[in-house]
Amino acid sequence: MNLPESMRYVSIEAPGGPEALCVRTGPLPVPREDEILIRVAMAGVNRPDVQQRKGLYPPPPGASLVLGLEVAGEVVALGAMASGFYPGHKVTALCNGGGYAEYVAVPAAQCLPWPHGFDAPRAATLPENFFTVWANLFDIAGLKPNESLLVHGGTSGIGLTAIQLARAQGSRVFATAGSDEKCAAIERFGATAINYNTQDFAEIIAAQTEKRGVDVVLDIVGAPYAARNLKSLAPRGRLVLVAVMGGAKADGFDLQRIMTRRLSVTGSTMRPRNTAEKSAIAAALKKHVWPLLESGRVSPVIAATFPLEQADKAHALMESSTHIGKILLRVAG
């Protein structure tokens, strides 16, 4: 397959606001032995991209300096040891970086075929959210069908993914959001919505569960919610942190409550995990989640799509927190 000598990609001119992003031209990445080269159709926009743009989330050693942690596109080349895909295959990929570009090299083990019936935009919504939710909610927290869940940031990509996967297995779900519009969206997906601007989520959880609490809390806020998260957990409950948007240093953390109610506090981030770990998550998603996507029982929600040249506008929308669902960049037709 003939490939161009150069490609467009989004560059960070200097750490700062969305205006720091601009499109430049440079050489295509060369896939390593275990990687495939993907011609990118769509790329997902995520909170870690915003943090990297600000200079607060440096990529791990060996990763591309270009933003972008998930893409959907077409395989155009393979490394010598890459397997499972061939040129022409349509894939969605969890990138280690480099997704805001016309081409990206990704370990083959971190790629999955598009679910049957999906197009590029819907496929591009999947990797970052579904890898993260599966790893934290099911692998780490071990949420069971007969258990209950509280999700913070219920209309984020992470939040809507968690709500849908938990509801698909029969778990009872509560979720927080900051407006009536967002709460209505949460209710449409079968969760009980809590408006954090007008309600105290800990009080609502206590009232709704006869003071027992929920079995799992999936949190993206961090410090400001720490004490109330513990208060909202049932005996043997698990608090799982996947982001700390409100701060990482928490006061008033009740250690006695953790001991007496046998609570667990844990969490993880996806990007530093090695390829073997991400490969195991990919295999679990293909087995357990892809059938739910293909049957329509779980469906991605797209908030907005911008051309690659408007990555700054995509980041501004992400930081406004007014969107419901995923924000995407359109790289190719």
pLDDT single digits (tens) 60-105 = 888 999 999 999 999 999 999 999 999 999 999 999 999 999 999 9
Question: 93 near 63, Cβ under 8 Å?
Answer: no
- Residues belonging to the chain: 333
Could you tell me which residues come within 8 angstroms of residue 197 by beta carbon, excluding any fewer than 6 positions away?
178, 179
- Which band of pLDDT confidence, cut at 50, 70 and 90, is reported for residue 333? low
Task: Using DSSP bridges, classify how beta strands 111-113 and 90-94 pair: parallel, antiparallel or unpaired.
Answer: antiparallel
Q: Is the dihedral of CA 226, 230, 233, 237 positive or negative?
A: positive
pLDDT of residue 148: 98
- Are 178 and 257 in a shared domain? yes
329 pLDDT tier (thresholds 50, 70, 90): very high
- Indicate if 44 and 17 belong to the same structural domain: yes
Q: For residue 84, tell me if it sits in a domain.
A: yes
- DSSP secondary structure code for residue 101 in this structure: B
**Most distant CA atoms of the chain, gap in Å:** 64
Average model confidence (pLDDT) for the chain?
A: 96
Mean pLDDT of 254-265: 96
Q: Is residue 19 part of a domain?
A: yes
Domain count of the chain? 2
Q: Is residue 48 part of a domain?
A: yes
Q: Which residue, of 240, 267, 294, is where some domain finishes?
A: 267
Q: Are residues 102 and 172 in the same domain?
A: no
Residue 218 sits in which domain range?
130-267
Tokens standing for residue 240: 């799982």
Looking at the chain, the number of H-run helices and the number of E-run strands are: 11, 15
Span 282-313, pLDDT tens digits: 999 999 999 999 999 999 999 999 999 999 99
Is residue 1 included in any domain, yes or no? no
Which residue type, as a one-letter code, is found at position 261?
Answer: R
Q: Show the DSSP H helices in the chain as ranges.
A: 47-53, 120-124, 127-133, 157-168, 180-188, 201-208, 226-231, 255-260, 275-284, 290-295, 311-320
3-class SS at 135? helix
> Strand, coil or helix: what is 170?
coil
**Cα distance between residue 248 and residue 257, in whole Å:** 20
Q: Work out the burial of residue 228: count CB atoms within 10 Å of its CB; fewer than 13 is exposed, 13-18 middle, 19 or more buried.
A: middle
CA 74, CA 40: separation in Å to the nearest integer?
Answer: 7
CB atoms under 10 Å from CB of 304, counted, come to 15
